[in-house]
């Protein structure tokens, strides 16, 4: 019966470790919203930048495969997906994602078969919110995503990522909603 306590403790410990000791990346968002009856209301997160280049060494990557995405930051602190590979990077943070489509770049100057890009489903796909605030959160998120002021802060460590916070116009979602409701 100890396993029933060991499993949740292990899960909490693992995710807390990522949140406290992982590096924080900002991912720009675009809007969607479903409902998960079992786990309460959440805002589904969809990312603007989900395309990533593939090196010629990883030409075996096809749609439906799970790959490792190396991630870096631009000069504004937003995440940049550097590379998709079949093995994890030892030089930068990474996370796993599934490829949903692939594109061979035609640069227009001749068919460049060495330049491939894949589009991946980024696994950090939800942010749970308080039931009464859910509708308001949804519309704020959509508006924020529309004017590109919405982004998710994600902690990544050793291939694991955890959504830390959802920001609208530079403020955490709940704070933004509370300020909005007072006006």
- Binding residues for another protein, rule: CB under 8 A, are 1, 3-5, 7-9, 11-12, 15-16, 19, 36, 38-42, 123-131, 133, 162-163, 174
Smallest separation (angstroms) from another protein to the CB of 90: 25
Q: Which is nearer to another protein, 48 or 174 (CB)?
A: 174
Task: Identify which of residues 17 and 89 has a Cβ nearer to another protein in the complex.
Answer: 17
- Token reading at 180: 């909005």
Distance in Å, CB of 45 to another protein, minimum: 9
Which CB, 65 or 162, lies closer to another protein? 162
Q: What is the DSSP string of the chain?
A: -THHHHHHHHHHHHHHHHHHHSEEEEEEEEE----BTTTB-EEEEEES--EEEE-GGGTT--TT-EEEEEEEE-TTSBEEEEEEESS--SSS-EEEEEEEEEEEEE-SSSEEEEEEEEEEE-S--EEE--GGGHHHHHHHHHHHHHTT-EEEEEEEETBEEEEEEEEETTEEHHHHHHHHHH-
Residue closer to another protein, measured from CB, 8 or 56: 8
Closer CB to another protein, 14 or 117, in the complex: 14
């Amino acid at each position: 019966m100890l396993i029933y306590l060991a499993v949740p403790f292990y899960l909490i410990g693992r995710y807390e470790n990522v949140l406290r000791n992982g590096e924080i990346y900002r991912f720009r968002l675009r809007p969607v919203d479903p409902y998960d009856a079992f786990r309460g209301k959440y805002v589904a997160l969809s990312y603007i930048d989900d395309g990533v280049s593939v090196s010629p060494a990883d030409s075996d990557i096809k749609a439906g495969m799970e790959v490792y995405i190396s991630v870096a930051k631009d000069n504004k602190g937003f995440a940049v997906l550097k590379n998709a590979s079949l093995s994890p990077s030892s030089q930068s943070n990474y996370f796993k994602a599934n490829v949903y489509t692939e594109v061979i770049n035609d640069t227009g100057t001749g068919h460049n078969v060495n330049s491939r890009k894949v589009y991946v489903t980024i696994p950090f796909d939800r942010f749970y919110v308080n039931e009464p605030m859910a509708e308001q959160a949804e519309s704020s998120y959509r508006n924020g995503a529309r004017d590109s002021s919405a982004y998710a802060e994600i902690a990544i460590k050793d291939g694991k990522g955890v959504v830390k916070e959802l920001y609208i116009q530079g403020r955490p979602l709940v704070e933004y909603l509370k300020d909005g409701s007072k006006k």
